[in-house]
Amino acid sequence: MQIITYNVNGIRSAMSKGLFEWIRTVDPDVICLQEIKASPEQVGVFELEEMGYHHYWYPAQKKGYSGVAIFSKKKPLTVSYGCGVKEYDEEGRILRIDFEDVSIMSVYHPSGSSGDLRQSFKMKWLSFFDKYISELKKKHPHLILSGDFNICHKAIDIHNPVSNAKSSGFLPEEREWMENFIDSGFVDTFRHFHKEPHHYSWWSYRAGARDKNLGWRIDYHLASENMKQRLKYSEILPKVKHSDHCPVLLEIS
C-alpha cells in the first residue's frame, strides 16, 4: 500500500497546476490532503471517481480555510469525521479511514505563526491531540498519522535552526511535544529510512527558498510502533510543485 500525504495549500489552486494529472500518474492507494480550502462541490469529483478513488472530505466551516480530505482506492470499513470537539472540528483538522489491519488519519495541525493567540491555540490543540490519540490507539492500534504537523522535530529538519530558534514551528516546547509524542509509541517513518540532512517538505515563497532548498520538514507519516515491520519505504518528493509543500510517500506491506 502506497500512502501519500500532501498539504496542497488550496486544492483548486493545486488542480490548476496539474495535481490530478500527477495523481493519475503516480496512482497511490491512499492520498491524505491538508489545507484543501474547499468543499467537494467546489472542486468536482468526476475525475477522482474515474481514477477509481473513494473520496472523503472534511472542510472547515470558514470558507477558503484549512480542511482535510482522503482519497482511497479501497473502500474503508468506516470513516470518522473530526474529533468531537467543536472548536477543532469547525476548522476541519482530522479525518480517519479504517481498514481491517490499519487506520489512516489525515491531520492538519494548527500553525502559530500569525501571533500569540494562534500559538496558544496550537499548544492547547497539541495537548488535546496527545490525549486523543492515546485513547484512539486502544481501539485502533495499527495507526498511521499522515499530515502537516507544523513542527520541525529536530535541528536536522530545518535549514537554519539557529535563526529560527524562536520561530513558531521550531519552538522548544513544540519540539519537546513532538519528541514526547513520538516516544509514546510512534515511528517517524521518513527518518526510519533516511538519517541524512537537507530533506524538507515546506519552503517559504520568499527569496527563492525552494530553489535554494532552504526549507522545513513539517509533513510526516507517523506509524504506530507495532507497524515497524510493515514499513517498506518512505520518500519526500520535492520536485512535485503544486503547493509550497511537497508530497511525502510511505509504502507499507
Helices (H), the chain: 11-16, 19-26, 40-43, 46-50, 86-89, 116-139, 172-183, 189-193
Per the structure, the count of domains in the chain is: 1
Q: How far apart are the first and last CA of the chain?
A: 6
Work out the average pLDDT over 113-124.
96
Cα–Cα distance for residue pair 204/193, rounded to 1 Å: 26
**Residue numbers annotated as active site:** 108, 148
User: What backbone torsions phi and psi does residue 243 show, to the nearest 5 degrees?
Assistant: -160, 175
Mean pLDDT of 12-39: 98
48 band by pLDDT with thresholds 50, 70 and 90: very high
The CATH number linked to 18 is: 3.60.10.10
**Nearest 5°: phi and psi at 24?**
-60, -40
Share of the chain above pLDDT 70, in %: 100
Segments of 35-102 assigned E as strands: 54-58, 68-72, 78-81, 94-98
Query: For 74-106, what is each residue's pLDDT tens digit?
Result: 999 999 999 999 999 999 999 999 999 999 999
Report, as an integer, the average pLDDT of 119-145: 98
Round to whole Å and give the CA distance between 148 and 55. 19
Q: Tell me which residue range forms the domain holding 76.
A: 2-252
Please tell me what DSSP assigns to residue 109: P
Residues 205-240: tens digit of each pLDDT:
999 999 999 999 999 999 999 999 999 999 999 999
Q: What is the mean pLDDT of residues 103-120?
A: 97
- pLDDT > 90 in the chain, percent: 99
Q: What is the arrangement of strands in the sheet containing 186-188, beginning at the earlier edge strand?
A: 78-81, 94-98, 103-108, 143-148, 219-224, 186-188
User: Can you read off the three cell numbers belonging to residue 87?
Assistant: 472548536
